[in-house]
Each structure stands twice: as structure tokens, then as C-alpha cells.
Structure 1
């Protein structure tokens, strides 16, 4: 439902904040925002005060009469939306990609190997060749790539390449040797070393086995980590993202975030999750959850855990065997008691618990744990989440609503996975996969994101996928399981208000209501009148956070 703000409503909104003098008025805008109830409303002028908080959104005449002397900025009729929020991403990972081998682009194994070889030649001083983005499914390889494949192009240095879903790594023989991985190395709990018929490692590590190699890769220097964050922040602002939820950070990354926040260098708000409940949690949780820091630019009030792996690498834990590989059901990272102990530790300390769960067995395990722990700590107000909630049994979907669990989902995962998802789980289980409409119809509030850098951070690609159930190329015709699509109003809400709700920040951001931060974007088209197939082509012209412009196309 869409409405236009009435004069009475505008007067009421302004009266409530009358003492605050607006510093800036954006005029001649084609503005859309949501109310707290999720109703879409129109406006042509946005006013915000010297602190960067919204005073009123209405007409030019109303803001001009109420706010004489304010600085006026002409939006030239461009569409203005609330700043978009990505509820699940990996900020430093996004920044790292710019400094490694790009394997998102190659469409075949030979093309990927050429990219690795070219990068190695161009970076002779790199001790390790690191890359991201390979996908054997997209290459139609019919198998995992191998160390032997890599050895043919780089054998003098270790090579470590992360799969597109970041749930498998591909190594050359030098990297395998440096990690000490041999025929006698056992598979770790929750992980797998891919092997040949004789039991020798072939070069791919799945899920927790990746740690065997990660531990010998040098950590980025402080300067490199800051460069990663700079790269990521620039990309996020360009994408129109004024807030992101960083799904798993370290002690060092927390320190960098706080320093950037202290110095006004965070051009995107960050709601961070501590990675696991080990040593990093013990260090970062000493003073309890950090709900807000530096004018709400940073928060550290959640924990990120893993139940299982990913569907593409068959690491997602399924109740029944994989349809295309009956010899496996995937991997639970922890047995039930150990998983529940991690969740208990975080919840007891007052943290929101956000657990990665892809397969129906992984989702079931976490829902069972929430059913035990939320009543134990009376912790429903923390709005615990399941990250991804990709394949869920029909019996478990209603439990999200009953338990108050937020499904944190990524629309582009469905359109990227359509080439293999049904092969993995079959025709019946796919009915509970990427089931946005089923969740929405039962009253669940979906928090949308991208899982960048697994997917591009562009939220308009996510809006396009949510509405059309098609990939960027428009496939398949008519949409993939279109019955699970969202309306555009719903999709906008899951990238704004409901993403904010999932971080308990709906009173701060997510819409352009009086008293909230003036986080907004100007874009090149009216997404509510443009054809749905053009949603993903939307270009961000300007991004504003807290009443300050942090990005302008062209400089």
C-alpha cells in the first residue's frame, strides 16, 4: 500500500521536532520512504538538522515555510530513497578481493588458470598467490579442480583460491605441503579433504578443513587491513549502502572499525558480529555488547556462528542424502551439544546470536537450540537470526515465526544457485528452499543482504532478484520458482526497515522518518515505475549518511 503524506501528518511530524533547526533541505526530489508500519509514502522535499537527523519529509512549500534560512540542495527530480542496508556481508573480505586474483569472471577452468598465471607474473614479489571466486558448477567441470591443475601454471609459490561461497579452498601442491596436508591427515570435524582413489589429497579443502591451510597464510599487515577497509567502504558507498552487517569480525578488525569511527572515516554504518565464541569473543565481550558507538556508526552486539557449509560444495547439512550424490549428507560443524554450548555462551552474555545454516539439517539443529535457549534466558528481545535459511523443511519454516527467529536471506543466492540447487536437493526439498514468499506470508520479517563478496554488494541486483527471481541476464524466462518472489514494496522493506529491525536499529535508520538519521540515496530512475527487469541496472548518483554526502557519481 502506498500513500502520500497529508498536511496534518506533516504538521504533526514537524511539531514533534520543532526545536531542531534543519540545516539542509533537499528539494525537487521524487522521494519514497516507509513508515514504521511499512507503508510506502511519497514526498518531494527532505529536511534534516545540523546533527544529520531527519526533521520532516514533505513538499517544498511545507519545508520552506517551516524552515526559513536552511541550505537548499536541488535533487533535479531524481528519485530519493532511504539508504539501503545489507544485512549480511564481509567487509574486509570485499576489500581483499581488489588485491588478489579475480576468479569471479572466468567462465571455464582454462580461463581461471590463465588468470592465476597472469596474476603470478604480474606480482613476482607476492609470497602467496591468493584469489577468490572460483565455481566449478559455473564452469560445468563435473568435478572439483585439483592441485595438479594449478601446478601446471604456478609451482614456485603457494596458491590458495577461495570458492565463490567461501566454503572451499583450492590449493596447489606447494600450499598443500606448507600446510602439512598429506594422505595421513585426518578430516577435521565439520570439514573434508578431497582425495583421490588412493586417499591422496587432491587440492580442495571443504569447510572446517580450510583452517589447515589458512593457519599458514600470513595475516594482512595493519596497513593492508586498512587498505582493504578503504576499498570496501568506497564500493559500499558507490552501491548506495549506508549500513551493513559484518558477519564475523576479529579483534584486529574491531580495533580498526573503532578507530575509523572515532575519526569520522566510516562512510557506511557497521553492525558487526564477533566471529565465534572463542578467544576473540572472550576479548571483545569483556564490557558486554556495544549497542552504539560514535553517532551510531558502529555497533558490536552480535555473534556469528556456523552450523554447516554451503550447497555448492555439498557442505550444507541435509537430513536426507544429496540428490546428486547419495553418498553424502553434507556436514554439521558441531554436534548438537557443542553447538548449543556456543549459542548458550553468547546468549548468556547478552549477545544476539546469528547462525549460518544452509541445509535443512543445519536449520533444524539451530531451531532446536533456540527453542531451548531463548526461554532459558528470556532472550526473545535480542531478535536472534538464522543467516541464509536456504533449505528448510516445511515443518520447520513456521518455527521461525513461533520462536521469533529472523530469517536473514540473500535474494541473489537463489538466482546464482538456480543452476545447481535443485540438482542438489531434488524436486520436493526445493519447495522449502529460498522460500521468501512462504516466510513473508506467515509474518516473518526477512532481513535481506548479499553475502558480499560471495555476491556483488549492489543492493539493486538483490531487489531485482527478489522481485523477478531472475539473474542479471534475465534467466530463466518467467522467473525461477516465481511463486516465492517478493513485491517491490516488500523487497525495499527487507533492504531497509526490516534489515534495520534485524539489528535492533529500526528507531535509528531504515526509513526517512523524523528523528532518524538522514541516510539516503539519489538514483537514476524511479524503481516503482521502471520495468522490473531494469531494477538491477539502477545507478546510484549520490549517497548521504547522517546528512553528509559520502559519494557522488563522477567525483
Structure 2
């Protein structure tokens, strides 16, 4: 039996807003006692020196496998790339320009460009017209291709829009290079040379330090089927060096297209496990493809619906049979209402955890919260503060005053939805450090964007509440081993901070850093 005692800390336990201790004991990798330093005498202990200690963070909506595939993509994320000209310059600097190799970029956000527009095929042709180039928008819901990439995919001006997708054309019918949603761009991306399994293992395991440096000890990969054989990939990465727990959410269309094989008990257990199914109900609000009741300002466009009622029912039935969650990407109010219409009266199947998670949940009215509370189905909500922080310019142009009043209502989620969490969606948002938990906490507390603009301040939460949405409350959303709390029986996993997040000025919360991350009673990271 291995026992370790820690004393003289300011220990936030993650079990409630005012729940603090000063000492705890870990036995065989799990917390066995939590209490006061004054109650400990004559026992060897690690002195925390008054440092603030939090439970390890859970990032319950992120994309590590996607991040691994982007290792050699050209980074185009703000704030580093803030203009169309800078984007094109970044692409021109790629060492493979002038060859026949694919060039891929990721992370552009045109909303803050002086040009106020996305790149086009002709823009990318000016970088190279002889080799395929494809750049992804920051939200991952659209790409722009040059003419060579469109040609290789067989996309012409006569190609019809696919169901649940859109091919960009200008007023004359000329292709702009824009492909919105997977139904439109998967055919292009499938043409890229595949990465070998061993290379992906190395890349995924290489994320270990980044996660632990941010205090992230558990993560849900909300589209693990970005890569082949995701469960094998994660388990091989664990053998290589990946420490945080990972819950894998398979894309519904990928499961459907593979013949819908059932999961085994082994698939659903372990530190790397299949935890759920991901369904896309609509697009992204910042790209005006979320499915909304009201048209986007100045248009007749209500966004894109990307899943039919029958498909949603089939996905829920498969998840129920396989005893895993369904996580439904739904940003627009029309998409959210439709999900509740279709599955709200069904019997839940996941016990204490929500059977259906509503991911992103951008436009969420009090009336919709009432519907959730009255539903037979058990719903959870996973939302973000990093979105309005990083993508304010897009939201400012796309939200009416009425919509702004119900956008990302984090306080309402905290007060009315027991199973609720904040998350990063990294790397699928317009900020290079989106997975820095303290950036999200600051944004949730101040309700301010990157430029200082206020964003519905009535929905602000306290520091303790924001931390709970990354710890104890988040642990009630994700069906992984018990982390996110410091209490007997939970995994002995915690972080030590360099500064006290509870006492620093709110404007400096994003400057707080993790000094140490401990996993199962062993120090896994030290700054």
C-alpha cells in the first residue's frame, strides 16, 4: 500500500462553491482522506506551502485526435494571423510550395480581417495553382480550396450542393472554393495522403505535456473518428506516454457508414474508452451555418440543418443499445428545439449521467431551459465562454439584440442544469490558446471578449462557479473514472497553482499558471 499525505494547502475540493480543505491523503492512487492540517500529527507529509490546489480539470469537449492530424498544417489562428494578406503570406512560406504535395492550413477567422471576407479559390491559386491547397476555418465547419483541389475532387460549377452541405458560388455561378460542412468537404479531404498509425501515435502522445501543463487530466474527444481506429490509436498513445484519461465520441455518420458494429465491454472500459456518439445537428454560429429560428441579419438564411429526425432517432437507438451517451452539436435555437422535440420524451439509459448532451448550446432561452427540466430524457449541457471571447466580431454581426440576450447563458446553465460544463473545443475555435482553462474562466467571470467588449454580463459566474464547471460539475457530465473532485474514493489527481486564482484581480485570471499536475498520486508535470 502506497500512501502520501499533503498538508498546508488552500484546497478547493470541487464539491461545492465554498468547499475548501487544507490537507488530504492519497492511498494507492485514490484520495483516502480530506480534512484540516491541524488534524494531522507525527506523519511524514508534503508541505504545499499555502499554495492553492484544485482538482484536475476536465475538458469535456475537445479534439485531440484532430489536433494530432494538424501537426504539419500551417497555423492560421488569431491573434497571430489577423488579415487575409497575412494568411496568404503564411501559406507562401510553406517549404512544400512549388511541389506536388498538399498544403493545408487551419484556423482562419475572417471576421476580424480588414478585408472582411474569407479567402477564395483565386486567392489560393495566387499561392499555387499547380498543387492542391485547402484551408480550414477556425470552427472546422468549412474549408476553402484552390482550383487544383476542387479539380481533383471533381467539383465543378455544375456539381449540386450535397444534402446537409453547401458549395460556395458567386453571383455568376463561379465556384468560390468554399465548402461548408462535412457533406461538402469530406470528398476533398479524403484525397490527402493518409498518415501512418505510428505517426499519429507519436503526435497524440506528444500532446501529453500540453494537456498536463494546463492541468487537464481528462478529456473527451468529440469526434475521435477524425482518425482511423481511434480506440487503438489512443491506447497505443497511452502506452507511449499519454497520461490524461480520454473518452472517445465516435462520429455518427462514420459509425453508420461502417455498418454500425456494436461495441464490446472492453471498448467501454479503461482510461481510454469509447464514451459516446457525436451527432451534428447544424453548423457554426460564427460562420452563419448554425440552424436558427430567425434569419441572419440582412439575409433570408437560417443556416444549415445537418441531421434529419430519422438519423437522430437512429443514432440515439444505437447509443442506447451500446450503453453510451449521445453528444449532439446544436448551436442554433432551431436545432436545439428540434433535438428536444425528437428525443425529449424518450427514456434515458445512462443512470446518473446525462444520456443526451447538448454541445455548444449557443442560443438557449429560458423557455428552452423549462423544456429541459420538464423532459423525460436526461440532458446535459456543455457550453463555452471561449467562443464569445475569441469570436466576438462574428457574433456581433450575426446576433440580433434578442439573440444576444440568450447567447451562452452560462449562469443559467449553472443554476438550472445539474449536468453542465465549460469546455474549450480546442482547436476548433479562433484562439491559439483556447485550451488554457484560465482564459475560459476569466471570460466566464468577466463576460468580456478579447477586445474588452461586454457580452451579456447578466450571465457571468463567480470564479468558484467557473472552476466547478471544469471540475466537479464537469465530472457529472462525462462518463469517465471519478476525477474533478478531491474527496475520498476519487482518483488522486489534482493541480497546484503558481498564484491563487481566488484572490488575483479578475483581469489577471488568465495569467494564472499550473505549477504542478499530479495524477493518481504521482507528479506528472512540473513547470
Normalised to the residue count of structure 2, the TM-score between the two structures is: 0.92
Tell me the secondary structure at the aligned position of residue 278 of structure 2.
strand
Counterpart of 2:242 in structure 1 is 266
Does 1:252 pair with 2:232? no
Could you tell me whether the CA contact under 8 Å between 1:30 and 1:44 is conserved in 2? yes
Q: In the alignment, which of 329, 338, 341 is matched to residue 368 of structure 1? A: 341
The farther-off stretch of 378-387 and 539-548 is: 378-387
- How far does residue 541 in structure 1 lie from its aligned partner after superposition? 1.1
Contact (CA 8 Å) 1:472, 1:536: kept in 2 or not? no
State the partner residue of 1:144: 118
**Residues 381 and 77 of structure 1: CA distance in aligned 2, closer, same or farther (over 3 Å):** closer
Which runs of structure 2 are paired with 1:501-540 in the superposition (5 Å)? 501-505=476-480, 508-540=482-514
Q: Is the 8 A contact 1:32 1:80 kept in 2?
A: yes
Q: 1:201 to 1:268 in 2, by over 3 A?
A: same
C-alpha distance after superposition, 1:375-420 (max 9, x if no partner): 3x65665512110111134422322233331111011112223222
Which residue, out of 360, 364, 367, partners 1:392?
A: 364
1:358 to 328, 331, 335: 331
CA offsets per residue over residues 193-212 of structure 1, 9 Å max, x none? 11122212111111131213
Pairwise CA distance, 1:291: 4.2
Determine if contact 2:252/2:277 at 8 Å carries over to the other structure: yes
- What is the number of equivalent residue pairs in this alignment? 514
Q: Which deviations, in whole Å up to 9, do the C-alpha atoms of 1:221-280 show, x marking residues without a partner?
A: 11221132023222111111011111021252211112334x373311111111115257
Work out whether residues 63 and 426 of structure 2, in 8 Å CA contact, stay in contact via their aligned partners in 1.
yes
Indicate yes or no: 2:168 matched with 1:194: yes
Q: Give the equivalent residue in structure 2 for 1:96.
A: 69
The question of whether the paired residues in 2 share the 8 Å contact of 1:194 and 1:201 is answered with yes
The correspondence of residues 117-516 of structure 1 with structure 2, limited to 5 A, is 117-120=92-95, 127-207=101-181, 208-250=183-225, 251-261=228-238, 263=239, 265-276=241-252, 278-279=255-256, 285-287=262-264, 290-293=267-270, 297-324=271-298, 326-372=299-345, 374-375=346-347, 381-383=352-354, 384-403=356-375, 404-455=378-429, 456-472=434-450, 475-476=452-453, 479-505=454-480, 508-516=482-490
Q: Secondary structure at the match of 1:211?
A: helix
Question: Cα gap change, 1:249/1:143 in structure 2, threshold over 3 Å: closer, same or farther?
Answer: same
Match status 1:76 vs 2:56: no
Cα distance change of structure 1 residues 231 and 401 upon mapping to structure 2, 3 Å threshold: farther
Aligned CA distance change for structure 1 residues 340 and 283 (closer, same or farther; 3 Å): closer
- Structure 2 residue aligned with 1:110: 85
Q: Deviations over 1:279-299 (max 9, x none)?
A: 577566332584431xxx223
Q: Give, in whole Å, the separation in 2 of the partners of 1:399 and 1:112.
A: 44
| Most deviating of 302-311 and 189-198 | 189-198
CA distance in 1, matches of 2:26, 2:411: 36
1:126/1:23 CA distance change after superposition, 3 Å: farther
Q: 1:222 to 1:504 in 2, by over 3 A?
A: closer
Cα separation, partners in 2 of 1:202 and 1:264, compared to 1, 3 Å: closer
Which residue of 1, 24, 33 corresponds with 1:56?
33
Find the aligned partners of 1:382 and 1:80 in 2 and give their Cα distance: 26
1:437–1:222 Cα change, 3 Å? same
Query: How many Å separate the matches in 2 of 1:247 and 1:503?
Result: 11
Question: Is the CA contact (8 Å cut-off) linking 1:206 and 1:313 kept in structure 2?
Answer: no
Structure 1 Cα separation of the partners of residues 311 and 248 of structure 2? 24
- SS at the partner of 1:452? coil
Identify if the C-alpha distance between structure 1 residues 503 and 290 changes in structure 2 by more than 3 Å, giving closer, same or farther.
farther
Aligned to 2:20: 42
In the alignment, the residues of structure 2 paired with residue 217 and residue 382 of structure 1 have an alpha-carbon distance, to the nearest angstrom, of: 39
C-alpha deviation, 1:39, in angstroms: 4.2
Structure 1: runs of 5+ lacking an equivalent: 1-20
For 1:319 and 1:480, how far apart are their aligned partners in 2? 21
Deviations 1:301-352 (A, max 9, x none): 211110000012211111221114x231111012223332222332233221
Larger CA deviation: 482-491 vs 277-286: 277-286
